[in-house]
């Protein structure tokens, strides 16, 4: 699997990384419903077995549970994958999630993540959301301190704008940015991706299949039967009129994928990887079979004609 350097770091990443949001399970504000822990661990193990060399998680996923599952899965692995996690989303005793960029909070979060992950240092530590924005500089200064202390190897940002990146770069370099990016969310192509190319900031995109919408396996029936604690029930992309249009898009992608023996999801992922600024795409898997269904995207590349056909289709979709 061909690897690509993440910004100016010493890390060279596979085009696809394992995303562990969904495996955190339900019972929190942005959960995906019940998750079997055995299936989650098997999914991580399968991803690494197939060559994926980085795992992206966050403290808030499952309120710590996702990090614990990652630790269990990688325990004893030879040549373990890089481990990326995030801070700035914290929760209280009632499991209510809030934001903090205060230095003491970020330090506590880092120490807690190190404990849950059972590692001596986090390979890439990221601010999850730049909120509250007034504390952005304080938070980034603490991230730089964590790097100096050796608790984290590299520091990155998630969901930042270009203006917010410009604010923190004078404090300490930004190794990478993690924005949402898919056919249905292409906004970062306008300013963020060109900026990252110019500044040599690595880009690892999330939700390339828009939380499962573009896998080719999504149906109206499946959406109607989402668990009550699946956050996607309240996502506009899973509600009409967008739902029908998005399912039709996935059907169109399936026609392209069929000629290559691929899945619609692999086409959707490959579409994000076509952009020269993108280092890699984060792709979740709740079991080993789902990992098998997307791994082909790591090496599959769309032709110019196929990209043009996709762009023409997207232009005709309802806004």
Instruction: Report the C-alpha gap between 11 and 9 in whole angstroms.
Output: 5
DSSP letter (8 states) at residue 66: H
215: pLDDT strictly greater than 90: no
HSE-up of residue 221 (Cα within 13 Å, Cβ side): 1
- Whether 207 is in a domain gets the answer yes
Q: Which of 47, 37, 91 is nearest to 67 (CA)?
A: 37
212: pLDDT strictly greater than 90: no
Predicted confidence band at 116 (pLDDT cuts at 50, 70, 90)? very high
- Whether 129 is in a domain gets the answer yes
3-state secondary structure of 99: strand
For the chain, give the mean pLDDT.
95
- Whether 319 is in a domain gets the answer no
Percent of the chain at pLDDT > 70 equals 100
For the chain, the helix, strand and coil percentages under 3-state DSSP, each to the nearest 5: 45, 15, 40
- Whether 242 is in a domain gets the answer no
Per-residue pLDDT at 216: 82
| In contact, 293 and 265? CB cutoff 8 Å | yes
Per-residue pLDDT at 32: 87
Cα–Cα–Cα angle for 283, 240, 96, rounded to 5 degrees: 60
Count up the domains in the chain and report the number. 1
- The whole domain housing 158 covers 4-213+275-301
- Whether 230 is in a domain gets the answer no
CATH of the domain at 73: 3.20.20.100
- Whether 256 is in a domain gets the answer no
What is the four-CA torsion angle of 245, 248, 253, 257, rounded to 10 degrees? 160
Predicted confidence band at 78 (pLDDT cuts at 50, 70, 90)? confident
pLDDT, one tens digit per residue, over 147-170 is 999 999 999 999 999 999 999 999
- Whether 83 is in a domain gets the answer yes
319: pLDDT strictly greater than 80: no
Predicted confidence band at 318 (pLDDT cuts at 50, 70, 90)? confident
- Whether 33 is in a domain gets the answer yes
If one counts every other C-beta atom within 10 angstroms of the C-beta of residue 256, the result is: 21
DSSP letter (8 states) at residue 93: T
Structure tokens at 241: 């009129």
pTM: 0.94
């Amino acid at each position: 699997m061909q690897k690509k350097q993440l910004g100016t770091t010493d890390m060279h990443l596979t085009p696809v990384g394992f995303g562990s949001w969904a495996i955190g399970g339900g019972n929190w504000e942005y959960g995906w419903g019940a998750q079997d822990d055995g299936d989650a661990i098997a999914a991580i193990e399968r991803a690494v077995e197939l060559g994926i060399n980085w795992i992206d998680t966050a403290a808030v996923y499952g309120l710590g549970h996702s990090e614990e599952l990652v630790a269990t899965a990688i325990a004893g692995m030879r040549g373990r994958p890089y481990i990326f996690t995030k801070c700035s989303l914290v929760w209280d005793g009632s499991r209510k999630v809030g934001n903090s960029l205060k230095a003491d909070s970020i330090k506590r979060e880092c120490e807690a993540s190190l404990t849950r992950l059972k590692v001596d240092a986090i390979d890439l530590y990221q601010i999850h959301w730049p909120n509250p924005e007034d504390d952005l500089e304080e938070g980034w200064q603490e991230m730089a301190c964590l790097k100096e202390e050796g608790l984290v190897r590299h520091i990155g940002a998630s969901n930042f704008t270009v203006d917010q990146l410009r604010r923190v770069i004078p404090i300490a370099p930004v190794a990478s940015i993690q924005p949402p990016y898919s056919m249905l969310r292409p906004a970062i192509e306008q300013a963020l991706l060109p900026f990252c190319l110019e500044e040599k900031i690595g880009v690892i995109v999330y939700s390339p299949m828009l939380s499962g919408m573009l896998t080719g396996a999504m149906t109206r029936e499946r959406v109607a039967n989402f668990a009550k604690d699946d956050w996607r029930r309240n996502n506009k992309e899973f509600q009409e009129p967008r739902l029908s249009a998005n399912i039709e898009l996935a059907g169109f992608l399936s026609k392209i994928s069929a000629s290559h023996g691929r899945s619609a999801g692999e086409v959707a992922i490959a579409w994000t990887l076509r952009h020269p600024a993108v280092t890699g795409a984060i792709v979740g898997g709740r079991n080993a079979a789902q990992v098998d269904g997307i791994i082909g995207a790591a090496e599959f590349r769309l032709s110019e004609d196929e990209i043009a056909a996709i762009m023409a289709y997207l232009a005709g979709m309802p806004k």
